[in-house]
Structures are given as C-alpha cells and as structure tokens.
Chain A
Amino acid sequence: MHYMLVPSHVEYERATSVEHALSLLGRPDTRVLAGGHSLIPMMKLRLAQPELLVDINGLAELAFIRLDGGQLRIGALARHADLLDSAVAGEHFPVFHDAERVVADPIVRLWGTVGGSLCQADPSEDLSAVFAAARATAVIRGQHGDREVPVREFHLGPYETVIGRGELLAEVRVPLPVPAHGGTGSAYQKVARRVGDWSVAAAGAVLRLSGEHEIQEAGLGLTAVGARHFVAAEAEDFLRGRRATQDTFEEAGKIAARHCHPVADQRGPEDYKRHLVAELAARALRRAAERATP
C-alpha cells in the first residue's frame, strides 16, 4: 500500500500588503504561509489543518536585514540563506552564521524564513535559542500597530507563540554590542545525527567581556532539550561577574545540563543529551569568548 501525502482542503489567499495580510489573518483557523517548509509537511501529516493559508511571500517590505539605530533588524521574511549571506549580521553576531550553516540544507535555506522559524516554535529549531541568547525582541504587527515582545517571552510552549489572531511577526531586532561596554563575541555549537537534520542538542552563546576578561553579560540559549524559553537562565546567572576561563565555562555547561529537560527519543537518551548540553554550552562559551574583541 502506498500512501500519497497531501494536505487537507484549504483556501489560499496571496497577501498584497501587510495590511491585507493582517485583515485576512483575522479569520479563524488561518495560518501564515512563508517558506512553507515546516507548515506544508505538517499539513500533509494533518498535524496542521488550517482553513485558510495567507501567502506572504510577495511582501518584500518584510524581507530585509539591516543595521538601524543600534540594532540589527531582520525582517520576518528574510530567508535563512539571506541571513547566512549577510555580512553585517556575521560581523556583529557570528552566532547567526554558525547556526545558519547547520539549519536544514542549502535548498531549504533558500526558502525557509527567519520569521517562520520563530513562529513555528519547534523545540528543535535552531534560531530560537540564538535569538534568545542575543536577547532579541520580536516586533509583532497587528491592525492597531506594533507591539514588542522579548524573544525570551515569545514562545508559550512547543508550536505555540504569543502571536494572536490578526497578528503577524514583522521583524526581529537584536541590540548591537556597544564597544564602550566591552568586547562581545558569540557562537553556536550543534550536534546532529547527519547533515541537515534537527539538533540532538545545541547551544548558542553571546558573551560581553570587560578588558580584564570578566563576564559582564552572558546569553546562553539551548536547542531541543526542553529549556524554558530556550534559555539556560541558571547558567547565565552563574556566568555573570566571573572570569572568562575554561573552568567557568565547563561549570556553566554543567549547570545548564542540570536545569534543562531533555526527553529520550530516536535522537538519543536523556543522559546523552544532558552530556551534550554540558559540552556544547562550554564549547560555545569558549568560542564566544575567543571572538570577543573589545
């Protein structure tokens, strides 16, 4: 018996402007269609059965990556490949390039979007931990204007975000390092079973160091291991104020491993995933510290 996977019946509308998209998204059971590389497979499996798809691929005003007012601004419709190619993003946050190199495969990266990654809220998705580590802010557009939500409060749980009916993620803003406040470095470390696969576990680190190598601020994001809001908050607390040494990073990794909640699945047992968290967090922190230039 061979089954052909096709989505259930659905209506399709192509948004001609953000306003048009917002009005369409006011209808119940509506999903935004961007790259479609998570949504369409989920629709085939009937894990998602929206009544209406709102195709936003034509909304060029949401496809940008630029520096503006001390922030790196990434439009929701920027593709993974755009972020990987972005020199400004890589210059200020090499963690984005680290992560984008290991998001799916090059063909998928041409279509999958940054906004789609965050809104899909898949626990194994790489960018959520990166944006959480960088303390980014999501800009959510509604018919009555924009509201800003820290990425650390954006996800309510697996496949659930704070975006409500009639709203659209417009962009993500990442505060730029201020050189006067010390050197900032960042890195992402991931273990996957094979090229293009989801993480077994991964860690993203953003560190701000003083001239004396004291950690002034630390962001540590974790992927695929059940960390609340993708953040290793206890490890961040431990890091703040300490010297950036290998011992510090290894201890922070152990703390992160203790406080996350991985589940055993086909990608590995729980203890293995905790082991990965400790090791990958320490490696990401070390690499971030190496990259921190005052």
Chain B
Amino acid sequence: MTMRIAMTVNGTEYAREVEPRLLLIHFLRDELGLTGSHWGCDTSNCGSCVVWLDQKPVNACTVLAAMADGHCVRTVEDLERDGRLDPVQEGFIECHGLQCGFCTPGMMMTARWLLDHHPDPSEAEIREAISGQICRCTGYGAAVKEFNDRCGCRGVARGAVVLIISDGWETGDPELLGAQMARLSRVAHRIVWANPRTQSPRYRPEVGGMAAAWPYCDAVVSAHNLDALGDLLSALQAR
C-alpha cells in the first residue's frame, strides 16, 4: 500500500508515491538523491541525519516521510547559496572541524539553527546544542572552536558590517575593550574602523584600549579626505 506525498525540499516541490513506513532520511537519499544527509545510527542518537523540518532540526531517521507531507524540509545541500558557502561551512573548513566528515552534515545543520536563534553562544551553550551529535573522530574540540571562533560565527547576520567612527580609544580599559570587540567580531560579518587620526604621524594605535581593539578590525581607514572615502567604500564592500 502506498500513499502520495508532496513536500518542499530546499525550495523545490517534490511529489512521490511512497510506503507510509518510509523514513524521511531514505526518502531524501533514495527517492530524491539528496545524499548529503547521512544515515548513521538509525536510532536518533547520532545526529548525522539532522535536517530541518519546518525550520526545526530533526533526526530524519526517526521521522516518516509521510509526516513531512505538506511541510518544508531543508537539508545540508541548501546551506550553500548562489555558489557561496554558508559561514558555518567556511568555519568547518578553516578550523578543520571534521576528520572523516560523516557527522558533519548533521553537525552543520544544528550549528546553523543554533546560530540563527542565538548569534553569540557561549562555549557551554554550543556544547549543549551539539550534545545530540556524535563524532567518532572526536572532532568536538575543533567543531566547537569552529562555532566559537571568528571564522565560524561571524557573518551569522550575513552581510552585517559594523562601522566604527572614532578617533581612538587609547585611554579606554584594554581588557574591557578587548572583550567587547571579541564579542562584536563573533556576530558581525566585518568590522571597519574609520579614524581620521591614523593619518597623523604622531598617532600611536598600540596604546591602551586601541591596542586591544585593533586586532579585531578587518579594515582601518582614515576617511579624512575624498580619496580616503574611496578606501572606506572598498572596505565596506569587501567580503
């Protein structure tokens, strides 16, 4: 006995005749050929098969395809958009967040969901969020680092560029400013600092709070004249 189901997967409408007992993971992999989601433990323990069902992550090995009838599914194939990797994917690459890669699709779908709901998670929150993902290569450390580091979380609000206009923070508390900038850098895609005083030969950015903040800037421009405004424009437009 079969039934007709239809669902939107990664923005595309699919309709198929299936047995009611067919699991969503097999529907995605075998019926639709979307093999990015991995079929792992088959008992909803490992998290390799995590996809989104109506915007919420779910273990696709523990959902019937019939339950997704009329709903929207998002798989790891949808993380890349217009030829551009999701920052989560870039982060996994840059921080070596995987070894064999089997758990990675589920890990990344959970990561994307966490960051969409919680752009600046603490390490404890990250570890809690991925506690349903099992990595046999013990790549957790790198995966957590990927979440936590500049390269992983920044760009959560994709394209959010922070422009700081200030003539410097030399007198500021370096510890406080460093912490604030670290926080900002994890949620912003880019940080650009416009500081006219950088043109002055006597300006010393390595002093006080400025020294703490400087390393977190993706670009520092003087923006003190029309030519320099061109530099500002390039800095803002850079990826």
Q: Which residues of A contact B (CB under 8 A)?
A: 4-12, 14, 33, 36-37, 40-41, 43-44, 53, 55, 57, 104-108, 110-111, 195-196
CB neighbours (8 Å) of B22 from chain A are 6
CB neighbours (8 Å) of B67 from chain A are 33, 36, 55, 57
B57 touches A110 (CB 8 A): yes
CB neighbours (8 Å) of B58 from chain A are 107, 110-111
**Is B131 located at the chain interface by the 8 A CB criterion?**
yes
B42 touches A9 (CB 8 A): no
A108 touches B66 (CB 8 A): no
Q: Shortest beta-carbon distance, A44 to chain B, in Å?
A: 7
Bitwise interface map of B from 128 to 161 toward A, beta carbon under 8 Å scored 1, else 0: 1101100000000000000000000000000000
CB neighbours (8 Å) of B131 from chain A are 105-106, 195-196
**Is B63 located at the chain interface by the 8 A CB criterion?**
yes
- In Å, the complex CA distance between A195 and B19 comes to 34
Number of A-B contacts (CB under 8 A): 77
- Which of the residues A4, A11, A41 comes within 8 Å of B44, measured between beta carbons? A41
Q: What are 28 A-B contacts with C-beta separation under 8 Å?
A: A5-B42, A5-B43, A6-B22, A8-B21, A12-B20, A12-B64, A12-B66, A14-B66, A36-B62, A36-B64, A36-B67, A40-B23, A40-B44, A40-B62, A44-B42, A53-B64, A55-B66, A57-B67, A105-B47, A105-B132, A106-B131, A107-B57, A107-B58, A107-B132, A108-B59, A108-B132, A110-B57, A111-B62
CB neighbours (8 Å) of B26 from chain A are 6
- In Å, the complex CA distance between A5 and B3 comes to 21
- Which of the residues B23, B44, B66 comes within 8 Å of A37, measured between beta carbons? B44
Q: Shortest beta-carbon distance, A4 to chain B, in Å?
A: 8
Q: Shortest beta-carbon distance, A140 to chain B, in Å?
A: 24
CB contact under 8 A between A107 and B59, given known A40-B64, A57-B67, A196-B132: yes
| Segment 91-147 of B: residues with Cβ below 8 Å from A | 110, 128-129, 131-132
A-B residue pairs, 8 tightest by C-beta = A105-B132, A12-B20, A107-B132, A7-B21, A195-B131, A12-B66, A5-B42, A105-B131
**Is B1 located at the chain interface by the 8 A CB criterion?**
yes
Q: Shortest beta-carbon distance, A130 to chain B, in Å?
A: 20
Bitwise interface map of B from 1 to 21 toward A, beta carbon under 8 Å scored 1, else 0: 101000000000000000111
- In Å, the complex CA distance between A170 and B105 comes to 37
CB neighbours (8 Å) of B191 from chain A are none
Q: Shortest beta-carbon distance, A199 to chain B, in Å?
A: 16
- In Å, the complex CA distance between A235 and B43 comes to 37
CB neighbours (8 Å) of B47 from chain A are 105, 107
CB neighbours (8 Å) of B64 from chain A are 12, 33, 36, 40, 53
CB neighbours (8 Å) of B224 from chain A are none
Residue of B with least CB distance to A35: B62
CB neighbours (8 Å) of B56 from chain A are 110-111
CB contact under 8 A between A6 and B44, given known A36-B62, A55-B67, A196-B131: no
B59 touches A106 (CB 8 A): no
**Is B198 located at the chain interface by the 8 A CB criterion?**
no
- In Å, the complex CA distance between A41 and B22 comes to 13
- In Å, the complex CA distance between A14 and B62 comes to 17
CB neighbours (8 Å) of A196 from chain B are 45, 131-132
| Segment 15-37 of B: residues with Cβ below 8 Å from A | 19-23, 26
Known: A37-B59, A37-B62. 5 other contacts (CB 8 A): A5-B42, A10-B20, A106-B128, A107-B57, A111-B58
